[in-house]
Amino acid sequence: RAAIGSSRLSVTPHAPLLPVWTVEAALCAVGSGKMPVATLLPFTATPNRKSAGPTSFRLTEKFILLLVFSAFITLCFGAIFFLPDSSKLLSGVFFHSPAVETNTRTGPDSGDSGSAGNDERVLAKIRKDHEKALLEAKDTLQKRPEELNQEIMNDKAKVAKDSMDQDGKDANNLPVVQYQRPPGATGHEPLDPETRDRRTKIKEMMKHAWDSYRRYAWGSNELRPVSKQGHSSNLFGDIKGATIVDALDTLYIMEMFEEFDAATDWVDKNLDFKVNAEVSVFEVNIRFVGGLLSAYYLSGKEVFRRKAVELGEKLLPAFKTPTGIPWALLNLKSGIGRNWPWASGGSSILAEYGTLHLEFMHLSKLSGNPEFAQKVMNIRKVLNRLDKPQGLYPNYLNPNSGQWGQHHVSVGGLGDSFYEYLLKAWLMSDKSDEEGKKMYYDALQAIETNLMRKSSSGLTYIAEWKGGLLEHKMGHLTCFAGGMIALGADGAPSDKTGHQMELAAEIARTCHESYSRTALKLGPEAFRFDGGVEAIATRQNEKYFILRPEVIETYMYMWRFTHDPKYREWGWEAVQALEQHCKVEGGYSGIRDVYASTPNHDDVQQSFYLAETLKYLYLLFSDDDHLPFDHWVFNTEAHPLPVIKKDRTDPDRPNEVE
């Protein structure tokens, strides 16, 4: 560079050299008398700058100047961004790392011995850093994948915490949560070879179902496996991807992480709730909200928490009724709700408004918004003010008047998961929700007294109650009750625990009979105990099988609590029947008549087949420490949610998500 105001050239060590051709051209110009010496080097200034006129630089000289300056800038940027050690260069230049400072301080006056001493110190530091890095690498290699993942998640949480705003919210206006995965999110191979092989087979079934959906119906809600195209129910309005969201946790617990990552990417980029369409609040809650919550708790990925809270907020207008009992159907854009036109006098349905509690309690925890929990707790207040006929909960409740509709009681369709969520709300609260516990055991006693019966051959079943009269019919959906009763038996009064386990085992046997008495060894939608028949469907519209999970669910719970090998055998019978009769080239299909000798496929692969049926089968052949019941509670779509652990040191302190 030239020192401005000096008549000579002052060159610094970093000054760029002019190209040779430029200097030669300039010298030629001087020799010919065409160019003054003062302008030989453009950065050399004259003693009196005011005497320099507008013709000091000619056009060609300005062009040369521009070229030189451009080359210099290019050289600088190249050094910064493209040299292999540019990061170290930058740290030395801008942040004065010790090594760089050592080198710059050793100038020509420091002497050879001082320079050698500094070099030794630098080498010693390099050796020390190298040894430290080797120790850290060795320590890392010895850690289990779970520990490494946890460290990564903790680092992410720290970064998120550092970047939060003054209100403790992140970029999505959600509170920063210190994520900690509960135990048992993934399991290990069973030691028994036969069990291990069967578990592997079920994972292969999941892969066939998933790969077929991905190939033929990616982004649609469900798959038509025979016609190999997408399928969508009006339950979800214009929301897409039900199978993707429903299958997320199954993919994760089966350690199908490549498929899980593809599903996660779709959720992040394509799952959209900004739709002008009417949806089923119940179905969207258990499948989408439940699936997203579970995926978050298993993986720790923030996209799932964000999407779950976003959808939960979209569902809140459903509660805008005089009583706070939510509508069954809701337009997500307008917030206008209504009930099913066929429901008794415009009533809301027990199994729908009563199956929001688990998800909404977690939404409050993850969003910091207490409104979700308040909405579902208010439902209990309304129910507790009402008289229950013979201690039973009718399936219909008018959201305007707050009175019961038609006195129809069922532990199957229209009622089932209400009772399930009373028990699981208590368990999920770390057994601190005493109100939920009392409501469950009182209801179970009323069900046993008024609805449970035995057939002439000794099969226990749960009938339906209509205005005081029993209909001796039991639905496939009702078969979940065996697992529910087994799950709650330990919390019953000590003199009733054994009795409830016996009831659970009897219901499991009855439901197994409903399978074994069909031609295809798959159970009908409903079966009857009248007219001399037992555990057999007598009506054509009750003979179908749509890949339902409830019987498998009960087998899984009974295995966990008893380890009676018959439950695994019964589950394996179902696997063989599914493979033989439901598997097609394009996935798995339901069957129109399980009593026919050859299957007539309905051409629908339900999303709950991946969410529930295959997950419960997989867990049936897994060890008990895979999603252990003392840490996880399953929602009614088999999405595992963590127990909200109570702070034992401070009973008044709110529970924390484990």
**Binding site membership for Ca(2+): which residues?**
636
Catalytic residue among 246, 506, 550, 553: 550
Q: Which residue has the tokens 């048992």?
A: 184
- Closest to 545 in 3D by CA, of 522, 577, 528, 529: 522
Is-catalytic flag, 542? no
- 553, burial (CB in 10 Å: exposed 0-12, middle 13-18, buried 19+): buried
Q: Is 416 annotated in the active site?
A: yes
Give catalytic status of residue 573 as yes or no.
no
Q: Can you tell me the distance from the alpha carbon of 129 to that of 99, in angstroms, rounded to the nearest whole number?
A: 12
State how far the Cα of 61 lies from the Cα of 48, in Å rounded to an integer. Answer: 21
Instruction: Give the angle subtended at the CA of 76 by the CAs of 73 and 78, to the nearest 5°.
Output: 105
Q: How far is CA 403 from the centre of its chain?
A: 37
Q: Concatenated DSSP letters for 407-468?
A: -EE-SSTTTHHHHHHHHHHHHHTTS--HHHHHHHHHHHHHHHHHTEEE-TTS-EEE-EEETT
What is the DSSP secondary-structure string of 329-392? EEETTT--EE--TTSGGG-EEHHHHTS-HHHHHHHHHHH--THHHHHHHHHHHHHHHS--GGG-
Task: Choose the catalytic residue: 249, 259, 283, 464.
Answer: 283
Question: Please, what's the b/e burial string for 476-501 (b: 16 or more CB within 10 A of its CB; e: otherwise)?
Answer: bbbbbbbbbbbbbbebbeeebeeebb
Alpha-carbon gap, residue 408 to 569, rounded angstroms? 36
Instruction: Describe the chain by its helix, strand, coil percentages, rounded to 5.
Output: 55, 10, 40
- Whole-angstrom distance, CA of residue 359 vs CA of residue 245: 15
Distance CA 604, CA 600 (A): 12
Gap between the Cα atoms of 623 and 570, Å rounded? 17
Concatenate the DSSP letters of all residues of 452-477 into one string: EEE-TTS-EEE-EEETTEEE-EEEGG
Rg (CA), the chain: 36
Do the bridges between strand 473-475 and strand 583-584 make them parallel or antiparallel, or are there none, so unpaired?
unpaired
- Which residues does the annotation place in the binding site? 636
The candidate with the shortest Cα–Cα distance to 358, out of 286, 310, 281, 443, is 286
Specify the 3-state DSSP secondary structure of 173.
coil
CB neighbourhood size of 456 (10 A): 8
246 is catalytic: no
**Alpha-carbon torsion 381, 386, 390, 392, what sign?**
negative
Helix axes 565-577, 494-516, angle to 10 degrees: 30
Catalytic residue among 249, 506, 525, 637: 525
How many whole angstroms separate alpha carbon 102 and alpha carbon 419?
A: 74
Specify whether the CB–CB gap between 575 and 198 falls below 8 A: yes
- Which residues belong to the active site? 283, 416, 525, 550
